[in-house]
Amino acid sequence: MSEAQAPHPGAGPLSGSRTFCPRQRRRFVLIVAILASAMAFIDGSVISIAVPAIRADLSASLADMQWVSNAYLLFLSALMLVGGAAGDRFGLRTVFIFGIALFVAASAGCAVAADTPWLIASRIVQGIGAAFMVPSSLAIIAKAYPREERGRAIGIWAAASALTTTAGPILGGFALTALGEWSWRLVFAINLPIGVVALGLLIFMVPPDDAADRRRIDVIGGLLATAALALIALALTNESEVPNLTRAAGLGAAGLAVLAGFLFWEARAKHPMVPLGLFTVKAFSGANFLTFCVYFALGAVMFFLPMTAVSAWGANEAMVAFALLPLGIAITTLSSVGGWLADRFGAGPPITAGSCLVATAFAGIALVSPLEMLFETITPLIALMGIGMALLVSPLSAAVMGAVGDEDTGIASGINNAVSRVASLVAVAAMGGLAAFTFALTVGPAVPQGLSFGSIPEIDLSAGQSAQFSAASNAALSAVAWVSAGLAALSALVSHLTLDRHLPVKPVSQPTQ
């Protein structure tokens, strides 16, 4: 699981009751939105389970795999707001077609990649396509359905999205286990038939919509954000187990300089992609800060835990997928409880409680990883993490929306969504360096050269060598989990200090699951 494992905050507002789509064709809009979301969710949820197979098949390093993940996240997170604005300017159907076509073409490139540079380049293009595809999937439903029908349509879309998020890793895990290392390519190849069906329905069954406005798109802001995030990710990603501090400092300084340029531009742009004035609101700044902390922690653990279980514990991909299943089930079935609690007590208390549960789960993973007991210890902790995420996801969206005026809810939710994805990007880059460094410090001299954290040994190891390799891998995972636990605990503190708490002023209904 990766950036699509847990629902991201800020799905976006639902605009007026005007619709461009005749009643008999609205179901095709819903089907296309579900198919597009399925492609994004399947890619995001399966990639971390497939990391060991990709490494073995392409002889890739840990840094290579960090970029296989981050090349996609970088362009998705940096350009998502540009993609949303493009839908308003050029029409959602047009932008949706462009995004899906680019995503599917890049998926074909990923499926046939002969080496890691090819795969990373294809993931870059895939991320650009996703930046235009992902914002359009929900927005086109809101625009196609009148207000009185919109809630049911979005409910169907959300249920289907939850199903693909939950089922994707299981199907991918079974394919990897049954068919061998090469089958990671099917994770990307499956997008081709899905995408062709989606494009056919969009082109032939969905009428074009009118552009909502003619505001200029903040292209310069998008380019500056992409450059800043790329430089920061490069600075945090180590090509070897011993960090090159000079290189990291130089790239980091360049990234921060470009980031400063981005903030300077956004403060003066006529139509900024990120209106900086929103961050003067304490609740909005607090919600986005704790979003970064929570999704950083989630992204780090859920990227490095599966590869540790496969490479060091001897688990196969299907076993790992089943062990992680409670996370998706808990979020899917219990998120309504978090929303009910936010309505009754304000967003602050359920977010604080959920963050504490997540922090406890990550600390537990750090403590029990040396036991290498996947179902006995890890699965209950994953369930606890899922309960915590279920408590905070809906209240977090409510906190973001409630912190700004009605006219700013769209851009506020878009910013919050982008923040959650940037957090995953930074987490994979930064925690990969920590994991590699911890592994190098812990592994014994008897382990053959060339073995690194997350790699599957291609030669038979002696009992002593295998024990040392596992111990070093577990130490690396524990280090990542401890940092993640600390960030989740910090998010609980920020929630307590910045978000609202109130008592109900009228009776409230009981939550449903």
pLDDT at 508: 37
Residue 407 CA, chain-centre distance (Å), reads 27
Q: Please, which pLDDT band fits residue 179 given cuts at 50, 70 and 90?
A: confident
- Do 1-216 and 281-513 fold alike per CATH? yes
> 128-165, pLDDT tens digit by residue?
999 999 888 888 888 888 877 877 887 788 778 777 77
Q: Please, which pLDDT band fits residue 248 given cuts at 50, 70 and 90?
A: confident
Contact indicator for 285, 412 with CB cutoff of 8 Å: no
The whole-angstrom separation of Cα 143 and Cα 138 is 9
Q: Residue 105's CB: how many other CB atoms inside 10 A? A: 16
Q: Please, which pLDDT band fits residue 298 given cuts at 50, 70 and 90?
A: very high
Q: How many residues does the chain have?
A: 513
> 423-472, pLDDT tens digit by residue?
999 999 899 889 988 988 888 676 666 677 877 776 677 777 888 888 99
Please name which of 398, 291, 394 lies closest in space to residue 335, comparing C-alpha atoms. Answer: 394
> 7-58, pLDDT tens digit by residue?
555 444 444 446 788 888 889 999 999 999 888 877 777 788 888 889 889 9
In DSSP notation, 91-129 reads -HHHHHHHHHHHHHHHHHHHHT-SSHHHHHHHHHHHHHH
Contact indicator for 202, 93 with CB cutoff of 8 Å: yes
The whole-angstrom separation of Cα 136 and Cα 113 is 28
In DSSP notation, 255-284 reads HHHHHHHHHHHHHH-SS-SS-GGGGGSHHH
pLDDT at 362: 97
Mean pLDDT of 500-512: 44
pLDDT at 4: 42
Which numeric CATH code is attached to 281-513? 1.20.1250.20
Top pLDDT among 341 and 508 is at: 341
The single-letter code of the amino acid at 510 is Q
3-state secondary structure of 166: helix
Domain coordinates in residue numbering, the chain: 1-216, 219-270, 281-513
Please name which of 419, 418, 98 lies closest in space to residue 290, comparing C-alpha atoms. Answer: 419
The whole-angstrom separation of Cα 273 and Cα 281 is 18
Mean pLDDT of 79-103: 90
Mean pLDDT of 58-80: 89
Q: Residue 461's CB: how many other CB atoms inside 10 A? A: 16
Contact indicator for 139, 92 with CB cutoff of 8 Å: yes
The whole-angstrom separation of Cα 224 and Cα 266 is 10
pLDDT at 9: 56
Contact indicator for 283, 399 with CB cutoff of 8 Å: yes
The whole-angstrom separation of Cα 297 and Cα 34 is 28
In DSSP notation, 386-413 reads HHHHHHHHHHHHHHHHHTS-GGGHHHHH
Q: Please, which pLDDT band fits residue 221 given cuts at 50, 70 and 90?
A: very high
% of the chain residues with pLDDT over 90: 39
Mean pLDDT of 348-359: 93
The single-letter code of the amino acid at 45 is S
pLDDT at 309: 92
pLDDT at 507: 37
CATH architecture of 1-216: Up-down Bundle (1.20)
